[in-house]
Structure 1
Amino acid sequence: MKLKKYHVDAFTNTLFGGNPACVIPLNEWLADPVLIDITKENNLAETVFFIPVGDKFHIRWFTPEIEMDLCGHATLAAAHVIKKHLNYKGNVIRFASLSGELFVVCSEDNYVLDFPARMPVKSKLPSIISASLNIQPKEIYKARDYVLVYESEDDILALSPDKNKLEEIDLGQGGIVCTAKGKSADFVSRFFTPGASVFEDPVTGSAHCSLIPFWSRRLNKSEMLAYQLSARKGVLFCKDIGERVNISGNAVTYSVGEIYLDNI
Structure 2
Amino acid sequence: MTDLNSTEVLTIFNALNDASVIDIKRTTTKNDIVVILSSGQAVEELQPQFDAILMQYANVQEGVELCGHATLAAAHALFSSGLVNSNIIEFVTLSRILTAKKFQETKASNSSDIQNGESQDCFLIELDFPTVPTIDFNSEEVSSISSALNGASVIDIKKTSSLDALFVVLPSGESVVEIRLEFDTICKCPEKGIIVSGAAPSGSGFDFYSRFFAPKLGVNEDPVCGSAHCALAPYWSKKLGKCDFVAFAASPRSGVLNIHLDEHNQRVLLRGKAVTVMEGTMHSSLQLRLQFVVAVTPSLQLVLPL
The TM-score bracket by the shorter chain reads 0.7 to 0.9
Name the counterpart of 2:134. 120
Name the counterpart of 2:106. none
What secondary structure sits across from 1:199 in the alignment? strand
TM-score of the pair, normalised by structure 1: 0.86
- 1:258 equivalent to 2:274? Answer no
Residues 219-256 of structure 1: CA deviation (Å, up to 9, x unaligned)? 11111111211122122221111321112222222211
Q: Aligned partners of 1:188 and 1:132: how far apart in 2?
A: 19
- 1:203 equivalent to 2:224? Answer yes
- 1:37 equivalent to 2:19? Answer no
Given the alignment, which residue of 28, 36, 53 partners 1:49? 36
Name the counterpart of 1:241. 262
Name the counterpart of 2:179. 159
Between structure 1 and structure 2, the one with the greater Rg is 2
CA shift for structure 1 position 72: 0.7
Name the counterpart of 1:12. none
Q: Aligned partners of 1:262 and 1:151: how far apart in 2?
A: 51
Structure 1 gaps, min length 5:
1-14
- Does the CA-based 8 Å contact 1:69-1:99 persist in structure 2? yes
Name the counterpart of 2:55. 59
Name the Cα RMSD after superposition.
2.0
Given the alignment, which residue of 111, 121, 125 partners 1:111? 125
Query: How many residues end up aligned between the 2 structures?
Result: 248
Greater RCO, CA 8 A, separation 6+:
1
CA shift for structure 1 position 263: 6.6
What secondary structure sits across from 1:160 in the alignment? coil
CA shift for structure 1 position 33: 1.6
Q: Please give the residue correspondences for 1:1-264 in structure 2 after superposition, counting only pairs within 5 Å.
A: 17-42=3-28, 43-52=30-39, 54=46, 55-86=51-82, 88-107=84-103, 108-124=122-138, 126=141, 127-134=143-150, 135-143=152-160, 144=163, 145-171=165-191, 174-182=192-200, 183-242=204-263, 243-262=266-285
TM-score of the pair, normalised by structure 2: 0.75
The change in CA–CA distance for 1:61 and 1:233 in structure 2 (over 3 A counts) is: same
- Report % sequence identity: 31
Structure 2 gaps, min length 5:
104-121, 288-306
| More displaced 10-residue stretch of structure 1: 101-110 or 212-221 | 101-110
CA shift for structure 1 position 16: 6.2
- Does the CA-based 8 Å contact 1:18-1:235 persist in structure 2? no
Residues 126-172 of structure 1: CA deviation (Å, up to 9, x unaligned)? 3443212131321111113211112211101100101222233342x
